[in-house]
Amino acid sequence: MHDVVASTKTHTAPSLLAQLGGLKPQERKRFGKLCTEVFAAEQAE
């Protein structure tokens, strides 16, 4: 799980969106939730 979080910090938004395009709807929802949590955590720092 931490690998995914680390990759969100190093990838640009376009490449992340490209990766999302290859995910199943359930995975996309889970990944979107993860991204939201990462963003919220960074805002809180």
CA distances from 16 to 6, 23, 40, 44, 45 (A): 12, 11, 17, 22, 23
Structure tokens at 5: 């979080």
The larger pLDDT score, comparing residue 18 to residue 45, is at 45
Q: Is the pTM here over 0.85, yes or no?
A: no
Task: Say whether pLDDT at 1 is over 50.
Answer: no
Domain count, the chain: 1
Give how far the C-alpha of residue 34 lies from the chain's centroid of Cα atoms, to the nearest Å.
6
Q: Quickly state the pLDDT bin for 31 (edges 50, 70, 90).
A: confident
At residue 24, does pLDDT exceed 70? yes
Domain hosting 40: range is 2-44
Q: Which amino acid is at 9?
A: K
As a whole number of angstroms, the distance between CA 16 and CA 24 comes to: 14
Does the pLDDT of residue 6 top 80, yes or no?
no
Closest CA to 7 of 44, 33, 34: 34
